[in-house]
A and B are shown apart, each in its own frame.
Chain A
């Protein structure tokens, strides 16, 4: 993975010093609440319901074991012994003290980490495919380009005070696992007719209050023009994006109000004026690529014969292999998901002990690296099949082997009313209730691929509008209600979920979910997935049953 050079380290150190000064000035009353708010947000620090929340950047979801140990140390020293993984592959601490935030950032800088631009109206952490570099359907590894974008966007002087937050995702595979169609800018590595690899650029996608599917603004962009083209889009957005209403300030509204064609023309005009002034050189691309070379795979890994036999002897292991591991482009290796969705744990949470243990396992079994996924799990990308059995046993011992990846209980869930000051409704409690209602793992496996996404407010941090089943908490006169949607998807066939009907009361949510699943089980055709069935029959059969008693 990418290792900082002296300049990278200097920049992060100087940022820590800057924020330390800003925090001192704020505590001394030398800068206003409003000013400090803008400054602390750009360093990941929110003021939450109970305490500040610190969001740390995990660029495109890549972490080393050394970094994990530091996160464990911070959780132990500055927080209540745990942290939370977010849908943007980042890490959040829910209980830091404001005056200690600069110290935490200094600790992070020691392991080449930071919290720069993890919040605020600026360019946020670039996300990517968690299977980058290991999946068979990859056109090219997207991570070098993510790193190039990370550097370009970090402290970009012109684009630090945008109309609203700005998110970029990059996918290098045929199958979109990075929800690129729901980002302000989505980037796909593609091959043109001449067989050259470049980028397809999408613009104006987004979730939140007004979910919109991104549109193609540039079907093919040569690699050397990546940064000038991004500059052009950002400049047009910075100059013309709406600033009169924060709910209409995202680039998706500008694209919609201008019309894609007009917007694209403006960007094109701007880009033509700058495209030759700063090109991304091959030398630079190659230098960054050199930091993402594949690890030293063993060539005989596939010759291990124990794997099939051990699975036969251990059905529980076989089940885990089926659900929690994924094919690898190198024979004899698999990717391994660490489920952060154990039934009794808030989705995405990990303790310091687990973090330390995972660091140890990463060193032993997966070249010292781990990845965070946008569905709030972790991944060991490169595990030899002969190591899967001992790894499973050790993951099971630390409650990270629940075989539920891609099933109903692999829910995406925001912290909700329990922690977040923006939330209108709780989500963690409902996730727990759904887990308790669906405690039969065989039933879960029979249902198969159903993605539940649940957010505690309209901001939609848990991407409820693209959940196969979306659950959105709303507040009606001080009472928590939940709006259900069906049929959303953030993958290639992107779709925004359709509203099932009136919101249901808090105590009815779990019942509604189990009813929806029952309808599916009864009415599905042979191998039909939940999403396919919703497409085929629409929402009515579900609606009838969910509201039958109303």
Chain B
């Protein structure tokens, strides 16, 4: 599988582990709920760790553990739910998160420019055919008015 990371299409090593599936070695992402319940076990697993969050989750709850997380996935249930834009901004600007923030799920290819401005640096389209389109859309604007993350 490929994703866009830092404005390049790259091969991806992350495995998304569903809640009912047991954790394996390697780079994995788990749900926010699972992280809250099994934090220590997850930190002890062999490989990098990422968390998937949705609009209802509060990134403030992750603030103290951000240095242990290499990836935070913003999982869009619906492109119209703009809360994750603020969550990304909070992760970068308020909590100083340096790792990868990845948009996934039902975001729109036409939202990638705004997402990149609030601090999302990686994109996992629902359909791999969209990779080139999204990469292109990251350059929709060369100017912007307001201060944000980027």
Residues of A within 8 A of B (CB): 7, 10-11, 14-15, 18, 22, 31, 35, 38-39, 121, 151-152, 154-163, 227, 235, 238-239, 243, 273, 277-278
Complex Cα–Cα for A15 and B144 (A): 11
Chain A CB within 8 A of B117 CB: yes
| Distance between B111 CB and nearest chain A CB, rounded to angstroms | 8
**When A and B form their complex, what is the total count of cross-chain residue pairs whose Cβ atoms lie within 8 Å?**
87
User: Which residues in chain B, 87-138, are within 8 Å of chain A measured between CB atoms?
Assistant: 87, 89, 94, 108-111, 113-115, 117-118
Min C-beta distance of B112 to chain A, whole Å = 11
Inter-chain contact B83/A238, CB cutoff 8 Å: yes
Closest to B113 in A: A157
Asked whether A7 and B85 contact (CB < 8 A) given A35-B79, A35-B108, the answer is no
How far, in Å, is A101 (CB) from chain B's closest CB? 16
Number of interface residues of B (CB under 8 A): 28
**Contact in complex: A158, B89 (CB < 8 Å):** yes
A152 near B143 (CB under 8 angstroms)? no
CB < 8 Å neighbour of A18 from B117, B140, B144? B140
Q: Evaluate contact between A11 and B83: CB separation under 8 angstroms.
A: no
A160 & B110 in contact (Cβ 8 Å cutoff): no
Q: Is the CB of A238 within 8 A of B86?
A: yes
List 4 A-B pairs, minimum CB-CB distance, nearest first.
A161-B82, A157-B117, A157-B114, A151-B145
Q: Are A155 and B114 in contact (CB under 8 A)?
A: yes
Given A38-B79, A238-B83, A238-B86, check contact A156 B140 (CB 8 Å).
no
CB nearest to A5 among chain B residues: B143
Q: Cβ of B94 and Cβ of A238 under 8 Å apart? A: no
Find chain A residues with CB under 8 A from B81 CB.
161, 243
Closest B residue by C-beta to A234 = B86
Q: Is the CB of A7 within 8 A of B94?
A: no
A152 touches B114 (CB 8 A): no
List residues of chain B with CB within 8 A of the CB of A14. 140-143
CB neighbours of A38 from chain B (8 A): 79-80, 108
B141 to chain A, nearest CB (A): 5
When the two chains form their complex, are residues B143 and A238 in contact, meaning their CB atoms are under 8 A apart? no
In the assembled complex, the Cα of A22 lies from the Cα of B136 at a distance in Å of: 13
Closest to A17 in B: B140
B8 lies within 8 A of chain A by Cβ: no
Q: A38-B79, A38-B80 are in contact. Are A155 and B86 (CB under 8 A)?
A: no
Which of B86, B110, B141 meets A158, CB within 8 Å?
B86
Is the CB–CB distance between A235 and B86 below 8 Å?
A: yes
Assembly CA distance A550 to B80 (angstroms): 48
Chain A residue at minimal CB-CB distance from B94: A273
Which residue of A is nearest B88, CB measured? A158
**Interchain CB contact (< 8 A) of B85 among A15, A35, A238, A273:** A238
Interchain nearest-CB distance for A109 vs B (Å): 14
27 contacts across the A-B interface (CB closer than 8 A):
A11-B141, A11-B143, A14-B140, A14-B141, A14-B142, A15-B141, A18-B110, A31-B110, A35-B108, A35-B110, A155-B114, A155-B141, A155-B145, A157-B113, A157-B118, A157-B146, A158-B82, A158-B148, A159-B82, A159-B85, A160-B82, A160-B111, A163-B82, A235-B86, A238-B83, A238-B85, A239-B83
Q: Which residues of B contact A11 (CB under 8 A)?
A: 141, 143-145
A51 to B91, CA, bound (A): 43
Question: Which of A39, A160, A238, A278 is most buried by chain B, counting CB atoms within 10 A of its CB?
Answer: A238
Contacts of A157 in B (CB 8 A): 85, 113-115, 117-118, 144, 146, 148
Q: Does B147 contact A (CB under 8 A)?
A: yes
A394 CB to closest chain B CB, in angstroms? 40
Check A152 against B145 for contact (C-beta < 8 Å).
yes
A239 B144 Cβ-Cβ under 8 A: no
- Min CB–CB distance A186 → chain B (angstroms): 21
Question: Which of A11, A152, A155, A162 has the most chain B CB atoms closer than 10 A to its own CB?
Answer: A155
Please indicate the chain B residues that have their CB under 8 angstroms from the CB of A163 in the complex: 82
* A-chain residues with CB within 8 Å of residue B83 when the two chains form the complex: 238-239, 243
